[in-house]
Amino acid sequence: MAHQYAGILGSLAMFVTLARGLAHGGSAGAVCWAAWLSLVVFAAAGYLVGWIAGRIVDEAVSRRITVELAERESPAAESPRPT
């Protein structure tokens, strides 16, 4: 999940920076430098956000499975065994 967020946010930031630079008539070197820098910064931020989101989802699923397994085992332990 983290790699997907990094790829999407980094690419989007680079595209927006390139479009802004071309629209404002910036020099090629300055536009490319700004686009590369925005790619690196937003890819790092996207990786961090994706990593946090992945951890939250993993913990929620793990907690849900633990609760459901405990609920399934609980009635079986409480019911009387036939003799």
Total number of domains in the chain = 1
Q: What is the mean pLDDT of residues 39-57?
A: 96
- In a domain, residue 83? The reply is no
Does residue 73 have a pLDDT over 90?
no
Give pLDDT tens digits for 11-40. 999 999 999 999 999 899 999 999 999 999
**Could you tell me if residue 25 is left (phi over 0), alpha (psi between -120 and 50 degrees) or otherwise beta?**
left
User: Does any domain span residue 13?
Assistant: yes
Residue 9, domain extent = 2-75
For 26-79, give the DSSP string. Answer: --HHHHHHHHHHHHHHHHHHHHHHHHHHHHHHHHHHHHHHHHHHHHHHHHHHHS
**Closest by CA position to 2, among listed 65, 62, 39, 44:** 44
- 82 in any annotated domain: no
Question: 1: pLDDT confidence band, cut at 50, 70 and 90?
Answer: confident
Task: Specify the pTM.
Answer: 0.74
Q: What is the pLDDT of residue 80?
A: 59
**pLDDT of 82 strictly over 70:** no
First to last CA, the chain: 52
